[in-house]
Amino acid sequence: MGYDEEALSSLIEALEIAEETFPQNHPELAKCYNNVGSLFDSMGEHTEAMGFFEKTLKINRNCDLQNHSHFIISYNNTANHHLEIGDYPKAVSTFEKAIEILTKNFPVTHPDFSTLYNNIGLTYSKMSEHEKALSYLRKSLEIAENSLGLDHPTTAVCHQNIGDVYIRMRQYSTALLHFEKSIDIQKKALYPSHPFMANSYSGLSFAYENIGEHSKALSISEKALRIRETSLPPNHPDLAHSYNRHAYACFKMGQYSEAIFYQEKGLAIVNKNLDRNDFDLTSLYKFVAHLYEKIGEYTKALSFYEKQLEICIETLPENHPDLTTLYKKLASLCSKMGEYSNAVFFHENSFAIYIKTLRPTMCELATTYKSIGEVYCNMGKYSKAVFFYDKANEIFEETLARKDSNLTTSYSNIDWMYDNMDEYWKAFQSHEYGLGIYQKTLPLSHSYLVSSDNNVAAVCPNMGEYSKVLYYLEKILGILKVSMPPTHPHNKICKALIEEVKKDLKYVTFFHSVCDDD
């Protein structure tokens, strides 16, 4: 039920009675030690657990119980302990010792073989050796079906574990089949709100999620959640996992408010179980932050990204790529909030890691320069913005093809800066450069050429180049005649502008509506 402290109190009391009642090498005393150790292991108290498992094994050895099932259980639980602490090779070798004893005393169809093969399979799955995992899990399933029956709960667990491995292998359709078999068996063998049912529903939901069946995933995830809500205590870790899983299902359906509701319920439980290592807090904080960002709650989003950053700074090397990604996210969010100084600070942190870990010609570095330039632009610090845009363009020139339209986009940012700095000749040159790239990469009738010609025309009067205005307006009209019907308003407006410019070369109101609409 998840009430670990209450369970431990009862088990300790039972152990004290056993110690007073039985001799030091009695099997019942070994059983008590084993039960206490198993509970400590599940609570994450692995050092305490190992002490009790060693006492269990010592009693069983001294009693010469190698032919007894208790001895096999001791090895199994000790192996599970090694599995819990991540010592996978030790876990496998210990499981194999149990199999060796079992082989000497029982037929190969004994259900304990199913349990041990299952556990070895789970261990290999943890080691990402999925084919080995499946080999042992299939043996476990075959024995369970032959010795216990096709509709036994253990058989259902075997199908569920095989489904989990296929999930890890990203073979979601095959995983679906095993989860569905597991659920069919459990519906016959267990009561409807049994916690085991929730495990299979959760796996099935995840599989549907990954094949794009988001509506089914949400419906099944809700079934898993309702079972755990009715069968588990309010702060049980499995319930937290269910809230987190259901939040993600809601998110994929675009139900952001519901996703936040369930994710925060999950986080509340996680924060009460911080001594456990089965929660990835950084991923949880990142997801909540992303949800708040989706609904425009930027302040709350920022607070969760900062929590994620605190953990990453503590746990990752100072130049880890994940820190770079997080700094860029924080910078972007601060820009949306108008906190430009903070945005520059985070961009510079990201930039510092790039300098240390990447070649200066890489596009990621150019993107960082460009992002810093955008922030300085928003702050009205145009000289600094141009400096970073220029550095970005130097790298783009080296890494992108000369005809790449990304170069045009990058240069257009500088055009706008020079316009605002009243450096019109530089703006004109940059506009013409970007226009040249568009002319090489786009059809002559493309609307981007209209906008680009318009931008070049717009800067000409500021340099006193009124005759060039007419040249570019006539180019625009030529494109419009090809790309739009004769009755389109833009044609009429452009013709009128041309006539006005012909009458008065000092005409300075231009064809901005074309750029805006297109």
What pLDDT score does 238 carry? Answer: 86
Sign of CA dihedral 380, 386, 388, 393: positive
Q: Are 223 and 245 in contact (CB under 8 A)?
A: no
Please indicate, yes or no, if residue 295 is contained in any of the structural domains: no
Nearest to 246 by CA among 218, 209, 215: 218
Q: What residues contact residue 88 under an 8 Å CB cut-off, 6+ apart?
A: 82, 123, 124, 126, 127
Query: Token pair of 252, please?
Result: 């994929």
Cα–Cα distance between 517 and 491 in angstroms, integer?
13
Whole-prediction pTM: 0.63
Which of 275, 302, 330 is where one domain is finished? 275
Structural domain total, the chain: 3
Cα–Cα distance between 459 and 380 in angstroms, integer?
20
Q: Is 420 helix (H, G, I), strand (E, B) or coil?
A: helix
CA dihedral 130, 135, 139, 142 (to 10 degrees): 90
Please indicate, yes or no, if residue 168 is contained in any of the structural domains: no
Query: Token pair of 506, please?
Result: 């000092």
What pLDDT score does 149 carry? Answer: 93
Q: Are 126 and 85 in contact (CB under 8 A)?
A: no
What pLDDT score does 193 carry? Answer: 80
Note down the domain range covering 248: 191-275
Q: What is the mean pLDDT of each run of 10 residues along the chain (518 residues)?
A: 81 92 84 84 73 79 58 74 81 87 85 91 92 95 94 94 95 95 92 85 93 94 93 85 93 92 92 68 90 91 92 86 88 89 87 72 70 77 73 66 50 51 50 50 47 51 60 70 73 74 54 43
Nearest to 140 by CA among 173, 172, 109, 117: 117
Please indicate, yes or no, if residue 14 is contained in any of the structural domains: yes
What pLDDT score does 279 carry? Answer: 66
The CA-atom distances, in angstroms, between 423 and each of 170, 183, 219, 416, 462 are: 56, 71, 60, 10, 9
Please indicate, yes or no, if residue 397 is contained in any of the structural domains: no
Number of C-beta neighbours around residue 238 at 10 A: 19
Please indicate, yes or no, if residue 133 is contained in any of the structural domains: no
Q: Residue 68 carries which DSSP code? A: S
Q: Are 468 and 505 in contact (CB under 8 A)?
A: no
Residue corresponding to tokens 């010795």: 147
What pLDDT score does 513 carry? Answer: 42
Q: Are 84 and 41 in contact (CB under 8 A)?
A: yes
Please indicate, yes or no, if residue 2 is contained in any of the structural domains: yes
Cα atoms in the Cβ-side hemisphere of radius 13 Å centred on 364? 13
2, with CB counted inside 10 A (0-12, 13-18, 19+), is: middle
Q: What CATH number does the domain containing 1 carry?
A: 1.25.40
Q: What CATH number does the domain containing 235 carry?
A: 1.25.40.10
What pLDDT score does 58 carry? Answer: 79
Q: Are 372 and 346 in contact (CB under 8 A)?
A: no
332, with CB counted inside 10 A (0-12, 13-18, 19+), is: middle
The CA-atom distances, in angstroms, between 251 and each of 240, 241, 260, 293 are: 17, 15, 9, 12
Which of 9, 32, 60 is where one domain is finished? 60
Nearest to 297 by CA among 271, 326, 336: 336
The CA-atom distances, in angstroms, between 282 and each of 174, 230, 289, 310, 311 are: 30, 29, 11, 9, 7
Please indicate, yes or no, if residue 204 is contained in any of the structural domains: yes
The CA-atom distances, in angstroms, between 202 and each of 119, 159, 178, 447, 503 are: 21, 14, 13, 49, 74
Please indicate, yes or no, if residue 8 is contained in any of the structural domains: yes
Which of 60, 84, 106 is where one domain is finished? 60
Q: How many residues does the chain have?
A: 518
Helices first, then strands: H and E counts in the chain: 25, 0
Q: Are 37 and 75 in contact (CB under 8 A)?
A: no
CA dihedral 60, 137, 212, 258 (to 10 degrees): -10
What pLDDT score does 516 carry? Answer: 45
Cα–Cα distance between 79 and 92 in angstroms, integer?
7
Q: Is 499 helix (H, G, I), strand (E, B) or coil?
A: helix
